[in-house]
Structure 1
Amino acid sequence: MSAAAQMPEDWSGERGLRWLRDVDLMEAQLAAFGAALVDRAGIRAGERVLDIGCGGGWTTRRIGEAVGPQGLALGLDISPALVAEAVRRATGLPQVRFEVGDAATARPGGGPFDRLMSRFGVMFFADPPAAFRHLASLLAPGAQLNMAVWAEPRRNPWMMEMRRVVGAHVELPKAEPLAPGPFQLSDPDFHRALLEEAGFTGFDRQLLEQPMLVGGPGATPARAAAFALGAFSVGELAEAAGPGVLAAATAALEDLYAGVATDEGVPMDAAVWLLSARRQ
């Protein structure tokens, strides 16, 4: 699979509602990558930070703790439902705020920002060059960018093996390189050129490879399979094909996960690029 072997993502509607339904499991699954992003960023007290694709606000709250009461952590997400949940979870952190908006065009209050951050929230733009030029315009000169994006599909069996298993039971869309999807920014040459064209300099990246617990710590193979098929768009294709196909795909995915399950859960290898750059 390359950049977009999946259905179009309606993050403002159904996709956002599915994320909200599984928000605690999703956050548990992604927590280690979010923590690595925040740690590598070296956020300073008093900074004004824009968090793109904030979802339920996990990273935004950690950013808020780092900037302290004199700073600002503003989470931006296109899903009204997720933003409402993020607001609810940020009680007691007055320096943390949230807004609903499409990051490709929105101009959130509180700018210009000292830093732009995103954990897996910038891979779904229809026009990435235009979107990143716009994001750069929200930043102060010299502002820092820190993002986590999925690395190349071959480095991410957590997704590729699920697709292989489900693809044996239902036809999956053909990959379209660089189309909106989890792997849109996975190619090292593409994401570097994209940021440089948008006016960022001092580019750096680090590859983080580690197992990811599908469905969070302690998930059984059955729970992990139910989570994965409910949370990711390939599961929607199995659902649409009918209950028989869904049941067969679920059983096959449970078998896959049973083969790797441990007392900690269902670990599958994952790889993430941690990107950093600075606005000129």
Structure 2
Amino acid sequence: MSNEATNSPEDLHAEDWSGEMGERWLASLDRFESMIAPIGAALLERAAYQPGETVLDVGPGGGATTRAIARAVAPAGKAIGLDVAPMLVEEAERRSAAEGIGNARFVCADAATARLDDAPFDRLFSRFGSMFFDDPIPAFANLHAMLSPGARIDLAVWGPPRDNLWMMELMGVVRQHVEVPPAVPRAPGPFAFEDVDYLSEVLTGGGFGEIEIAAYEGEQAIGGPKTSPEEAVRFVLSSLGVGRILDEQDDAIRQRASEDLKALFERYLVAGEGVMMGCKAWLVSARA
């Protein structure tokens, strides 16, 4: 094991998404999208968008959720995807144009401070795009300011790491080879809102009420459906925060970690489905 401590994968701030992490996401966009698509579908079903609504989608990445919302609110409604990563905004625009979706557009800006001319919006949506604010209460207050009174928001955020087998198992392998400091509770990152009391505190501080939180539990395909263990290892090392940790190590450590990850994924391989590992997310709704 390396004795050199390195950053936790939960330590991903906005500047990372506009740079390295945005590039990593783009390089494996279809794998990312297909991996978390079931959670997005559950959140979209819960939101139940109607024709004519105007919707702000925060942190849409490649824009799959924005396009789905645009189709749901057509023809009179519109969906605006707001993302801090310029490379993802560009790709989202390309994909939207390729699908001929005329009522969606994308804006590159920080949702914590941005003000859009399209405001006020009827609704707000975010699938795993709201957990990275350095100062979340002012950020949600800013989002609140772009919504109509009583507007509903729908968010998906990761539940506790201990309930996300995929993260616990990945980090278990990495920690066999690298010293990783424990995550800081409530710090910006994928698991910032694992504690629903803290999540409610942030939303209330941002001006939201009528908060309802439901658990989503299931299995997700690491690297997307029908991905082999070898492909899943390549996806993890090239795209996720744990891969960034191992990038900092020497070749021997990376090789041993890769072999252990492959062995892990082989244990969770389901024929015809891929590497299936348990996950838990919170599906959240509230009113402005």
The answer to whether residue 127 in structure 2 is matched with residue 119 in structure 1 is yes
What CA distance in whole angstroms lies between the structure 2 residues aligned with 1:201 and 1:110?
A: 23
Match of 1:171 among 171, 174, 179: 179
Q: 1:123·1:183 contact (CA, 8 Å) conserved in 2?
A: yes
The answer to whether residue 146 in structure 2 is matched with residue 134 in structure 1 is no
Where do residues 1-280 of structure 1 align in structure 2 (5 Å cutoff)?
6-9=10-13, 10-91=16-97, 92-263=100-271, 264-279=273-288
What CA distance in whole angstroms lies between the structure 2 residues aligned with 1:76 and 1:198?
A: 18
Q: 1:126·1:180 contact (CA, 8 Å) conserved in 2?
A: yes
The residue type equivalent to 1:274 in the other structure is L
Structure 1 residues 6, 188: CA separation in 2 closer, same or farther (over 3 Å shift)? closer
The residue type equivalent to 2:35 in the other structure is Q
Q: 1:48·1:67 contact (CA, 8 Å) conserved in 2?
A: yes
Deviations 1:137-156 (A, max 9, x none): 11010100000000111110
Q: Tell me how far 1:243 sits from its aligned partner.
A: 1.6
What CA distance in whole angstroms lies between the structure 2 residues aligned with 1:249 and 1:160?
A: 15
Give 5+ residue unaligned stretches, structure 1.
none
The two structures have a TM-score, normalised by structure 1, of 0.96
Deviations 1:199-227 (A, max 9, x none): 11111111010000001111111111111
Q: 1:172·1:234 contact (CA, 8 Å) conserved in 2?
A: no
Deviates most, 113-122 or 164-173? 164-173
What CA distance in whole angstroms lies between the structure 2 residues aligned with 1:224 and 1:131?
A: 34
Give 5+ residue unaligned stretches, structure 2.
1-7
Tell me the secondary structure at the aligned position of residue 139 of structure 2: helix
Tell me the secondary structure at the aligned position of residue 148 of structure 1: strand
What CA distance in whole angstroms lies between the structure 2 residues aligned with 1:109 and 1:27?
A: 29
Structure 1 residues 7, 194: CA separation in 2 closer, same or farther (over 3 Å shift)? closer
Q: 1:239·1:245 contact (CA, 8 Å) conserved in 2?
A: no
Deviations 1:55-106 (A, max 9, x none): 0001000000111021110001001100000000002111100000011101
Aligned length: 276
Tell me the secondary structure at the aligned position of residue 140 of structure 1: strand
Deviations 1:154-182 (A, max 9, x none): 11011111011011111213311111110
Q: Tell me how far 1:5 sits from its aligned partner.
A: 5.3
Deviates most, 228-237 or 148-157? 228-237
Tell me the secondary structure at the aligned position of residue 266 of structure 1: strand
The residue type equivalent to 1:51 in the other structure is D
What CA distance in whole angstroms lies between the structure 1 residues aligned with 2:11 and 2:284?
A: 26
Segments of 4+ in structure 1 off by > 3 A? 4-9
The two structures have a TM-score, normalised by structure 2, of 0.94
What CA distance in whole angstroms lies between the structure 1 residues aligned with 2:144 and 2:194?
A: 20
What CA distance in whole angstroms lies between the structure 1 residues aligned with 2:128 and 2:110?
A: 15
Q: 1:147·1:276 contact (CA, 8 Å) conserved in 2?
A: yes
Q: 2:70·2:101 contact (CA, 8 Å) conserved in 1?
A: yes
Q: Tell me how far 1:134 sits from its aligned partner.
A: 0.9
Q: Tell me how far 1:8 sits from its aligned partner.
A: 3.6
